[in-house]
Amino acid sequence: MTDIQDFSILAPVPLEHLQSGAEISGNTGFVAFGSRKWELFRKVDELRAGQRVPVLIYPSHEDVPAKDSFIVSWVGWYVGCEESGNGKHSKGMMHRPPTTEQYSSDNQGHWAVFWHVSELCELAAAQRLPISAIQTVKGGWRKSSPPRGPELVATPSTLEWPL
């Protein structure tokens, strides 16, 4: 997995944060989503060698176990991350989806890393695909256990990138 074209990041993000984050991405250059998987993003940064990485996002559903039938309906480009010692983004709310302000832990101590996505956009209905159609990569997501956080996956060859 040394070729940057061989992998993408598959991630669940609440729909409200995707919708409010798309405008932030367009206005500030990227939107910052939180994760506790700092090791994954260290690995991605090592593998990407400064290149941007495709991000495949499916709307997550709180209190619902992840299912194979969840649909990738948003895409963007991973352009870097910042680890957080205090759980806050270094630029405050500048790059965070405004909808995260209503959740007290979202911007105050919960996240270990903020991953940056540029050009976040919703896919046309014909381009959407179930997460079950996405191939795994060694050391990444297991098909028997749909992801509850960001994972490395093979970039789908059927996806016509709109970016």
List pLDDT tens digits, range 109-132.
778 899 999 999 999 999 999 888
pLDDT, greater one: 24 or 156: 24
Residue reference for tokens 């979202």: 106
- Nearest-angstrom CA–CA distance, 27 and 67: 33
Backbone angles phi, psi at 107, to 5 degrees: -125, 15
Residue 43 placed within a domain: yes
Is 160 inside a domain boundary? no
Lowest mean pLDDT among 72-76, 92-96, 134-138: 134-138
Question: What is the rounded distance in angstroms from the CA atom of residue 132 to the CA atom of residue 68?
Answer: 5
User: Whole-number mean pLDDT of the chain?
Assistant: 84
> Which pLDDT value is given to residue 25?
96
pLDDT at residue 73 greater than cutoff 50: yes
Is residue 161 in a domain?
Answer: no
The residue to which tokens 């250059």 are assigned: 29
Residue 147 maps to a domain = yes
- The parent domain of residue 29 ranges over 4-154
CATH of the domain at 98: 3.10.590
- pLDDT of residue 139 exceeding 60: no
* Better pLDDT: 11 or 5: 11
Q: How many domains does the chain have?
A: 1
Query: Are the CB atoms for 138 and 6 separated by under 8 Å?
Result: no
What pLDDT, on the 0 to 100 scale, is given for residue 3? 45
Instruction: Please name the helix (run of DSSP H) or strand (run of DSSP E) that holds residue 15, with its range, or none.
Output: helix 15-28
- CB contact set of 6 (below 8 Å; sequence gap of 6+): 137, 154, 155
- What is the pLDDT, as a whole number, of residue 1? 37
Could you tell me how far CA 7 lies from the centroid of its own chain?
A: 13
Rounded distance between C-alpha atoms, residue 53 and residue 16, angstroms: 23
Return the SS3 of 64: coil
